[in-house]
Amino acid sequence: MHFSPDSRRRQGRWMPALAVAAAMVLGSPGAQAEALRLMAFGDSLVHGYGLAAGDTFPEQLEAALRADGLDVTVINAGNSGDTSAAGRARLDWALADDPTAVILELGANDGLRGLDPNATYDNLDAIMARLDEEGLPVLIAGMLAPPNLGREYGDIFNNVFPRLAEKYQAPLYPFFLEGVAFEPTLNQADGIHPNAAGVAEIVKRIKPQVVALVKTARLAEQSQQTN
């Protein structure tokens, strides 16, 4: 679900804007009236394979956001073993939970199985189109191909997520397992699924972009209320 060295990200430039974003969300009248519903839509990395209650990505992310004063409920819409095709097939069912924003984390199992990256793109494209149709802000959580599948496959697969981000002008967190893949102390015995400490590391790294997503969703809500 992940394999590859840490991808490079430039988070420094986000920090001033994110501080302003958090202040805007917390200071907006009525912003805390109802918890924002953030859906984490993905595979076992979201669902929490092998983890105890309270240790999954949605639960740890929600706790981290609430610790920062953000009234957010993170919906666990992960399903272990899902490929991009399986996620596409159950999207409408997941949307019945009425999310306000979405973290899209799918494709890891496509890469592990060596599935056609073009099919992965098509499936994720259909998911993004549906979310766009619903007017939902989305943070794309990318994945990297296992290196044993070769450079050609990896180049095509790894480009799936930046292509989607560009097409839909959506924020991209390039590699969901940044800082966790290949770190024995942060993974379960299978070397594939993060343990509780690994999930905590993911949450710490992705949280700035999630805060920005929350800000975007809150502003969209406020805009709808004034129209």
* Residues assigned a catalytic role: 44, 190, 193
Contacts of 69 (CB under 8 A, 6+ apart): 22, 26
CA distances from 75 to 35, 88, 101 (A): 11, 17, 10
Contacts of 95 (CB under 8 A, 6+ apart): 130, 134
What is the sign, positive or negative, of the torsion defined by CA atoms of 200, 202, 208, 210? negative
Distance, in Å, from the CA atom of 76 to the CA atom of 73, rounded to the nearest integer, reads: 10
Distance, in Å, from the CA atom of 28 to the CA atom of 145, rounded to the nearest integer, reads: 41
Strand partners, 134: none
